[in-house]
Amino acid sequence: MNLKKLLNNVEYEVVRGNDDLDIREVQYDSREVKTGDVFVCIRGYVTDGHKYIDNAFKNGASAIVLSENLESVPECTMIKVKDTRKALALISSNYYDNPSKKMKIIGITGTNGKTTSTFMVKSILETAGYKVGLIGSIANYVGDKKIPSHRTTPESLELQKLFKEMVDEAVDYCVMETSSHSLYLDRTYGVKFSQAIFTNLTRDHLDFHKTFENYYRAKLILFQNTFNSIINIDDKYGERIYKDAGGTKVTYAIDREAEVRGSNLNMHSRGINFNISYNEKTEPVDLNIPGKYNAMNALGSAAACLCEGVDLSTVKKGLESMESVPGRCEIVTKSYDLGYEVVVDFAHTPDGLQNILKTAREFTKGKLICVFGCGGDRDNTKRPIMGKIGTELSDFAVITSDNPRTEEPMSIINEVVAGVKTHNYIVIENRREAIKEAMKMANKGDVVVVAGKGHETYQILKDKTIHFDEREVVADIIREFTIHN
């Protein structure tokens, strides 16, 4: 593709060479550059692409897009822009022929509920007869084809490539988790969303954003780039989003008056029943996932689809046809007759842990046992808060390691324990042994909640990443118990 065409809608200055040359591919990692490519220098978490200009040139780059004034640069075309991240997003879109404009995009953001909501929207739209793509933390989907996911929202180049694959497969809608990191880092820059859903906002990612205000401002970006905002007005930050968002707005709630309203909630061990009301019509819904917060996720998902013209009866069918979401309040003992249940959930924030434990408490007839920890190299201020929540909202807790990454597991655990005010807990560093001990102490009517990793199939240690799927771990432990009994 011609470089000038690639730079369409990008404000730029030709510092050296000319913009009338053919480009083979777009790269932002100098190690991936081949002859004829354009290399875009972006700043990452750890390093800066400007440091690798010489490496990109040696690998064959025909053009470099940069934002800094450098004393010495190699003999190739140099394009200067104000912001290389925004430039990469627009260049990537142009390279793949602007695929986001050829289908409707529904973005979902919030601290909790993004993943569940994407699956709910996908199920509703597919029930309505549309072909749907999904981008999220568990996996990416192009129709029924599953593609591994390496981060919640991909870098703009990979994102536009996914959009192009969806367009090529005649996808009507792409529903995507839109993380605060991706919004702040302009991965979705230039994408106009058809619907943007706000789920909630609680403490998380302050290791990256530093302040809660910065976190909020990052989330707000989505609602300034959408035709319509779907806002949880039960959440106190939903009120603020409503005031700050652009475009048209639709609210949803359970506890307050809203355009899409949930009522008559009745939770049981395998799900929740409630009514959805919209435009003076009401439908009863029997959702296969328990928890008031999942009813809230269903309302937001329903609202987005209703605003896309899907009727309420189809919304009901779409929600009820969804069996579960991997690692989100997932009961992994359904096929066993243990007398107790084991629930795996991704809860890794104070609010997430509180939600899953309060939900599990509502269908626990005996003891509620919780296994949890905190990840390393992440916001450490939430660790004592989660220690307090995990022990106070359960009858017994096993505090363990999560993904320690470069930190010492026991150092993390000690910070969690610092917030504990009770004596109803033990510490077992090894996560598998912690789960096994919790299951050993479970009796008839008890519920064991294993929180923090959910759908993940790995554990990140200091020197390696190991396979660790908690559904498999629970099944292995059950087999061990059966053999020894």
Q: What is the pLDDT of residues 19-52, one digit of tens each?
A: 999 999 999 999 999 999 999 999 877 789 999 9
Is 456 labeled as ligand-binding?
A: yes
> The CATH number of 3-95 is which of 1.25.40.340, 3.40.1390.10, 3.40.50.300, 3.30.950.10?
3.40.1390.10
Is 107 labeled as ligand-binding?
A: no
Per-residue model confidence (pLDDT) at position 402: 97
Identify the CA nearest to 190 among candidates 385, 3, 9: 9
Chain centroid to CA 174 = 15
In angstroms, rounded to a whole number, what is the distance separating the alpha carbons of residues 157 and 155?
6
Cβ-contact 64, 92 below 8 angstroms: no
Is 403 labeled as ligand-binding?
A: yes
Cβ-contact 425, 399 below 8 angstroms: yes
Is 405 labeled as ligand-binding?
A: yes
- Which class is 330-484 in CATH? alpha beta
Per-residue model confidence (pLDDT) at position 326: 87
Is 452 labeled as ligand-binding?
A: yes
Is 402 labeled as ligand-binding?
A: yes
Is 443 labeled as ligand-binding?
A: no
Is 203 labeled as ligand-binding?
A: no
Q: What is the 3-state secondary structure (H, E, C) of the chain?
A: CEHHHHCCCCCEEEEECCCCCECCCEECCHHHCCCCCEEECCECCCCEHHHHHHHHHHCCCCEEEECCCCCCCCCCEEEEECCHHHHHHHHHHHHCCCHHHHCEEEEEECCCCHHHHHHHHHHHHHHCCCCEEEECCCEEEECCEEEECCCCCCCHHHHHHHHHHHHHCCCCEEEEECCHHHHHCCCCCCCCEEEEEECCCCCCCHHHHCCHHHHHHHHHHHHHCEEEEEEECCCHHHHHHHHHCCCEEEEEECCCCCCEEEEEEEEECCEEEEEEEECCEEEEEEECCCCHHHHHHHHHHHHHHHHCCCCHHHHHHHHHCCCCECCECEECCCCCCCCCEEEEECCCCHHHHHHHHHHHHHCCCCCEEEEECCCCCCCHHHHHHHHHHHHHCCCEEEECCCCCCCCCHHHHHHHHHCCCCCCCEEECCCHHHHHHHHHHCCCCCCEEEEECCCCCCEEECCCCEEECCHHHHHHHHHHHHHHHC
Per-residue model confidence (pLDDT) at position 334: 85
Q: What is the mean pLDDT of each run of 10 residues along the chain (485 residues)?
A: 97 95 97 97 87 96 94 91 97 98 97 93 98 93 86 87 97 94 91 96 59 86 95 94 94 98 89 96 95 95 98 98 90 91 93 92 94 95 96 98 97 98 97 98 97 94 96 97 83
Is 190 labeled as ligand-binding?
A: no
Is 378 labeled as ligand-binding?
A: yes
Is 476 labeled as ligand-binding?
A: no
Is 404 labeled as ligand-binding?
A: yes
Per-residue model confidence (pLDDT) at position 212: 73
Is 113 labeled as ligand-binding?
A: yes
Is 264 labeled as ligand-binding?
A: no
Q: What is 99-320's CATH number?
A: 3.40.1190.10
Is 256 labeled as ligand-binding?
A: no
Task: Sketch the domain layout of the chain as residue ranges.
Answer: 3-95, 99-320, 330-484
Per-residue model confidence (pLDDT) at position 412: 98
Per-residue model confidence (pLDDT) at position 207: 53
